[in-house]
Structure 1
Amino acid sequence: MAFSLPVWLAVQGELLENGEADYGTLSCFDDFDDEALFQMFHLTRPCLTFITDSARIRMKAVDVDKSTLSVDAMVMVALNYYAHGVSSTALLQKFGLSQTESPAIIRTVSGVISGMADQFISFPFTRDAKANVAFKIKKICGIPRVLGVLAPAHFKIRASPYEKNSFRSFVNTLSYTSVVSQIICDSDGNILSVEKCCVGSTFEQEIWDSSFKGRELETELHGPYWVIGGKGYSLSKHVLTPVSEPANDMEKRFNEAHAKIYDIMRITLGSMKRRFRCLMQLGFAQENSLNKKSDIIKACSVLHNIAKKFSVPPPPVAGKIEPLYPGKPYSVPAEINLEALNARQNLIEEIFSVVSCSQDSIGNNAEEKA
């Protein structure tokens, strides 16, 4: 869903057109065997080659001191940081770099890879693409006309407690400091949309209301489809939330189906954070300067989709997968949208009034395939 074979062909075509695809030239990655590459970058050699080729095209438009490092070396430094959250001293020494020099390289590469989101992160736009995504989701949970799973993704940061007002703005409802981005994924764990980078105390409904994707959906640009949202979102014509207090069996069945598809986001974010451990702790942040964090989050989302297209497994789970952020509903309940409430109730009565074989198995065979 994130990108297809034509994208690969376009990248290779542009490289050949500009004389860049010299497959006889040794790359920095050739110094390592496949096992070492995966340990260092949590990616495979073909995947790394594709990423580097793609970044090389974009690097042409970036003002980089070409006398310092090759594109391969710059990408290698950044990918190593994404994978482990710190730069390998041995890798930096290989290129004659110090720990103080690597952040500038990581910022440059993060800006370049995040700029590749227009190619590698795509929301279903055509009729066939929407129907395909909705079909897969319905097959899993029984809920029709769903284009994706919507959730706030929180990433831990450090903030100075001496700047009290700024510090409080980063504290989320789980009492740790974070930044939050809005992410939508499909049933296979591909990232369909990532936008915003706000302080951790921000309400997800507030992010949705001001987001590009929120405005597109709520103004009917994508037609009569839903996205699945958690308790922190308000029920609307296009955000389908669970029933807060289910009063009967069919509402309970609906909530079970909703929870099953919503759990895909937990698995997806868990997979991303295992592969890119920098997302477990993004370092220090200031309220008025979140662009650097946003670039890293978006770059990792791009790389996540590319890794999935190359069928690169994430590193194994160490302990439990981090639970999904529970949501931050407004302290004053939002005004009830009667049209949306009726639409959800009609859906529940139409689909969940009778137990089907597929609904009866909900929750029994959840696969962590992201």
Structure 2
Amino acid sequence: MGFVRTPDFEEESLANAKRYIIFDDPIEFFSLKHSDMYLQSFLNHSSESDHLNPIDCENFCKMFKHLRVLNMGSAVLDQYPPGLENLFHLKYLKLNIPSLKCLPSPLCTLSNLQTLDMPSSYVDQTPEDIWKMQKLMHLNFGSITLPARPKNYSSSLKNLIFISALHSSSCTPDILCRLPNLQTLRVSGDLSCYHSGVSKSVCELHKIECLKLVNESKLSRMVLSEYQFPPSLMQLSLSNTELMEDPMPMLEKLPRLQVLKLKQNSYLGRKLACVGSGGFPELKILHLKSMYWLDEWTMGAGAMPKLESLIVNPCAYLRKLPEDLWCIKSLRKLDLHWPQTELRQRLRTFEDMEWRYDIQLYPYRI
């Protein structure tokens, strides 16, 4: 039986509940005196961000020992809730602990945990015992640092497929090679300071499909030529990398790349050139953002044959789009922000072809 919490909900009816969802104030639920129940799922979907009392959280963990899914939602915890390690059936755990900097060792004893969701936590210290969490599949943090695996540990996180934000200091060959099935990874931090480890490690992720590199240092730039990306890559995003070299000649060789997002300050040059015949063979989505000085883009015949969507924001200095772009039969969506008059006039030829192109120019009235 599953229940949705309502103001007139009677405590007695909780006895047979296996799933419980809250849409109102969670503090009201925690203030109730519950009897021991076989509750398996607790989901807080309330929009409230009230702080929960640690004692109430501890009592909650004692009462609901059979939980498999625990989602505290937006409810704020000022500290890691004591007693949580007793919920050894847990497979999914979501907590909102903004102040958490060190991941507690007891958490690593949850051997059945598959998803650890703590998006508001920026963890710079993680216990070595995290390498014992063999069933772990998803790590969702604001940022997390993984420790080097102890020499006496023979295990690896073989089931881990998703890390939302791994600090660049943890991108060493010794660490990433212990994540053999990783598919989605976001790396954030000083990519210049740790470029040797990051560049050597990324190419060892043979099953990686989605990779995001975010440089958080204002004093350094990423050198793309020092990187080797695995051929399995399907989505790539670069942010604040401040590349001085044209990234296209290197990236167009990736055989499976479908989504490329060159975002905020990713490239500082004036020219882009997709010169290889048949370059970007699988690319469907291309976002060029915050390339403030871009004024020339050339593209060879047969490049990007499967492109469907293109966003250029802004394109204040771009005089024209590549002529071969209009030969791509799959192209349907084109968003241009702040196009100069010359480019806007060139696009008038295509604006009337509503049956083929969805062309959006921003702002509308300029």
More strand by share: 2
- The structure whose RCO (Cα within 8 Å, separation 6+) is larger is 1
Q: Give the structure with higher Rg (CA).
A: 2
State the TM-score, normalizing by the size of structure 1: 0.26
Question: Normalising to structure 2: TM-score of the pair?
Answer: 0.26
Higher helix share goes to which structure?
1
